[in-house]
């Protein structure tokens, strides 16, 4: 059976426009550099160095936070406990949760700093005749991935309300994702709004659902506009980082 694989992951690279806390630094070691390392460290005489080979390339990521690129958050990120039990770190996540039938909900019409509601989700699902089933992986399209690599990326966008997050979980969704910097409204906006409202329950409300109900979300997805509303599978296997609050993941959609 033929199938198409669509990459939904952000490239891991240095971007001058990224804010300081997202700048990824990768040191590339050339083939020539390793040529000398092999000869000196392993004491391999030049006469025994393969004639048709320069050396191996090598690389080192010097600075990359687990939340700096396309990644999936573990329950541990939201708080130390969930549903009265110790929250899972990323290496404890069942991989069965990370592969399933995908659904894209188009919320690209939402303006910056206006939260996505349950009604927004239901309207798009009804328009496309989709019913969410247990185990579906739901991806929220905002088209804010077009801001990636610019200073606006973490500071603009919509976000998922507490009620909408709870509603998705109640439909049986364990893993959900979004194509903007974070799951909630932008952090700076939420901090300012919490002060204006004098409301201690406002800040990070979507994430904090994970203290009461176990779920995971993917942040900084891209290319969701290339997907149909349904009819594809999502694969989002995270790196097995012991004790991690999140992990980078190569997220792909598979259309058969």
Q: Which CATH number fits domain 71-255: 3.30.465.10, 3.30.2350.10, 3.40.50.2300, 3.50.30.50?
A: 3.50.30.50
Instruction: Please tell me the predicted confidence (pLDDT) of residue 20.
Output: 87
pLDDT tier at 148, thresholds 50, 70, 90: very high
* pLDDT above 90 (res 189): yes
Task: Say what the pTM is.
Answer: 0.95
Q: What percent of the chain has pLDDT over 90?
A: 93
CA nearest to 147, candidates 64, 221, 61: 221
CB 174 within 8 A of CB 135: yes
Contacts with 210 (C-beta within 8 Å, 6 or more apart), sequence order: 73, 75, 77, 78, 79, 82, 87
pLDDT recorded at residue 63: 84
- In this predicted structure, what is the pLDDT of residue 62? 86
pLDDT at 200 (0 to 100):
96
User: What is the predicted pLDDT for the residue at 2?
Assistant: 84
- 178 in helix, strand or coil? strand
pLDDT of residue 154: 96
41 exposure class (CB count in 10 Å sphere: 0-12, 13-18, 19+): exposed
Q: CA 253 to CA 4: how far, in whole Å?
A: 8
Helices 118-127, 162-170: inter-axial angle, 10-degree rounding? 50
- Which run of H or of E encompasses 36? helix 31-41
* Contact by Cβ (8 Å): 35, 55: yes
How far is C-alpha 26 from the chain's CA centre? 20
Q: How far apart are the first and last CA of the chain?
A: 7
64's tokens = 């990359």
Distance CA 140, CA 121 (A): 9
Distance CA 107, CA 79 (A): 28
Q: What is the pLDDT of residues 109-135, one digit of tens each?
A: 999 999 999 999 999 999 999 999 999
CB atoms within 10 A of CB 186: 22
Q: Quick one: average pLDDT of 164-180? A: 98
**What whole-number distance in Å separates Cα of residue 210 and Cα of residue 110?**
24
Give me the percent of the chain exceeding a pLDDT of 70. 100
Q: Which of 89, 111, 63 is nearest to 214 (CA)?
A: 89
Of 80, 82, 26, 64, nearest to 243 (Cα)?
80
Residue ranges per structural domain of the chain: 25-63, 71-255
- Between these two residues, 17 and 142, which has the higher pLDDT value? 142
pLDDT tens digits for range 61-109: 988 999 999 999 999 999 999 999 999 999 999 999 999 999 999 999 9
pLDDT-derived band at 21 (thresholds 50, 70, 90) equals confident
């Amino acid at each position: 059976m033929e199938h198409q694989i669509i990459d939904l992951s952000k490239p891991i690279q240095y971007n001058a426009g990224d804010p300081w806390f997202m700048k990824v630094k990768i040191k590339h070691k050339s083939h020539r550099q390793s040529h000398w390392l092999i000869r000196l460290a392993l004491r391999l005489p030049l006469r025994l160095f393969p004639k048709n080979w320069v050396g191996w390339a090598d690389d080192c990521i010097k600075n990359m936070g687990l939340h700096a690129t396309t990644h999936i958050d573990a329950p541990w990120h939201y708080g130390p406990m969930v549903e009265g039990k110790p929250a899972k770190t990323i290496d404890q996540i069942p991989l069965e949760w990370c592969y399933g039938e995908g659904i894209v909900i188009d919320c690209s019409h939402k303006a910056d700093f206006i939260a996505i509601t349950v009604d927004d989700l239901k309207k798009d699902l009804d328009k496309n005749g989709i019913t969410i089933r247990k185990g579906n992986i739901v991806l929220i399209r905002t088209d804010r991935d077009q801001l990636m690599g610019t200073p606006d990326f973490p500071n603009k966008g919509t976000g998922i309300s507490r009620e909408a997050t709870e509603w998705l979980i109640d439909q049986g969704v364990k893993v959900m994702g979004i194509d903007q910097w974070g799951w909630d409204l932008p952090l700076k906006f939420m901090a300012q709004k919490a002060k204006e409202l004098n409301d201690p329950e406002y800040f990070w409300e979507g994430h904090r659902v994970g203290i009461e109900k176990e779920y995971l979300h993917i942040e900084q997805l891209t290319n969701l506009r290339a997907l149909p509303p349904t009819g594809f599978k999502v694969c989002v296997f995270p790196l097995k980082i012991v004790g991690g609050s999140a992990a980078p993941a190569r997220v792909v959609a598979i259309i058969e």
